[in-house]
Amino acid sequence: MTATSATAGLRTIDDTLLRELVETAQASPRRRTNYNFHHAPSDNPHRFLNAMMRGSYCAPHRHVTPPKDESFIVLHGEIGVWIFDESGAVLSRVALGRRGIVGVDIPAGAWHTVAALTPSAVCFEVKPGPWDPETDKEFATWAPRENAPDAARYLETLLAEFDG
């Protein structure tokens, strides 16, 4: 393998890319965006940057069909991660980007959500592929779905656990 072919697909993660992703997330109706390193939904594993603005809500969910572990490493800002029990009680929470904690690995089947604790945040996320939108996530029945009238209020109660 020549140096040219070995570096032909090389992509760097730098301040410029992170800034562009934050700007894209800021302009997005969902207030978040992904930048994929994998090429197709069938690829394995999926590797991507997930940029989110504070106030972007990702409904609590789990990955069970098929079971998938999921890892997050914060690159910019701070991200809250919550793990819930079957009824929606918070079992644990961790702030990525605080107190030397930069990443978390969530086991398959764990109910969880993530949210920006700072005005903007970017994390590197990895989980097994392939991606099938019909089976990728099982959403919790005890939490509001994205765009539900009470979603913003629910997110604020979660964020208050870190802000208080």
* Domain residue extents for the chain: 11-163
Kindly tell me if the per-residue pLDDT of 130 is higher than 50.
yes
> Of all residues in the chain, what percent carry a pLDDT higher than 90?
79
Mean pLDDT of the chain: 93
Tell me yes or no: is domain 11-163 CATH 2.40.50.140. no
pTM: 0.92
Query: Residue 1: what pLDDT?
Result: 44
Instruction: Kindly state the DSSP code that residue 143 receives in the 8-state scheme.
Output: S
Chain position carrying tokens 């069938």: 42
Polymer length in residues for the chain: 164
Q: Cα–Cα distances in Å, from 31 out to 107, 111, 135?
A: 26, 22, 24
- Centre a 10 Å sphere on the Cβ of residue 56 and count the other Cβ atoms it contains: 22
